[in-house]
Amino acid sequence: MRRMVSSLSVLAFVVAVPLAAADVMVEFKVDAGGNNNQPLNGLAARGTFSVNGTKFTLLLENISTGVPNGFDVADSLLVSVGMNLPAIDFLTGDAAVIGLGSKGLGSWSSRVAGDSVAEEWLWTNEYGGDLMEVFKHVISTSEGQGGGKTTRFDKGNGSVGGPFGGMAAKPPILPVPDNQPAVSNSIRFDLTLTGTLTPEQLRTVAENSIVEFGSDQRYLKVPEPATLALLLCGAAVLRRR
């Protein structure tokens, strides 16, 4: 009996320990405004938000199957994501690299998965511009999305070009010029936070985030009610309708 009680006590202790790692995947498919008001026509993006302690990772993907009428190639690129972290900030932007299964386009055609694109991406804790002014934490390839102090992922001092440097679909819907940089179709951003997020907080951050295509051409948000996957240490899956 004592051995059984001891085993149950250990089990209860293990179950009670909070899990620090979590992943949340969301898709951006709902119109949130912008300069082009034509039907979305397949314009879409996906974000996988991950935390492990103070390490924050975002895999951002352009999953578009079409673009609104009137879009040019710059408009078709996914260039920014905005979010509001609860009572914490980005401490450092550690890396911005081409995602697995993706590759560089145009002047980045020699770059492959895992290669850095940090010189064209920045982050800020001081809100974005235009329709992202209500979002404090922004990652972007557009200098105009830094409402306050911005920091490039490569720690350089120059500005970022944007929208080029952003993400085209896979395959690209509109051809990227040879002299302009872009990626088809994903970039992974690694950052260190000033604090930690619970899995539920991470889900709230992801569900309420926003992405930008082109230079203010179109913003997309997550459908409500959102359907997303919450993975706890690769063991549990939570879907909410």
How do residues 178-234 score in pLDDT, each as one tens digit?
A: 999 999 999 999 999 999 999 999 999 999 999 999 999 999 999 986 444 444 434
In this prediction, residue 214 carries a pLDDT of 96
Which residues, in sequence order, are CB contacts of 212 under 8 Å at separation 6+? 34, 78, 79, 80, 81, 82, 131, 132, 140, 142, 145, 218, 219
Contacts by residues 11-20 (CB-CB < 8 Å, ≥ 24 positions apart): 18/198, 19/199, 19/232, 19/233, 20/51, 20/52, 20/53, 20/196
End-to-end CA distance of the chain: 44
3-state secondary structure of 92: strand
**What length does the chain have?**
241
Cα separation, 88 vs 69, whole angstroms: 39
Helix, coil or strand: residue 188: strand
pLDDT of residue 162: 85
- The reply to whether the predicted model has a pTM over 0.95 is no
User: What is the DSSP pairing of strand 181-184 with strand 103-106?
Assistant: antiparallel
Backbone φ, ψ for residue 64 (5° rounding): -65, 145
- Is the Cα torsion angle 81, 82, 83, 85 positive or negative in sign? positive
Q: What pLDDT, on the 0 to 100 scale, is given for residue 229? A: 46
Helix (H, G, I), strand (E, B) or coil at 50: strand
Low-confidence ranges of the chain (pLDDT < 50): 1-20, 226-241
Domain parsing of the chain, residue ranges: 19-239
| pLDDT at res. 59 | 98
Closest residue by Cα to residue 93 from 51, 155, 20, 140 = 155
Please calculate the CA angle 151-154-158 and round it to the nearest 5 degrees: 60
| Joined tokens for residue 12 | 């209860």
Between CA 84 and CA 127 the distance in angstroms is 9
The amino acid occupying position 15 is V
The predicted structure's pLDDT at residue 10: 33
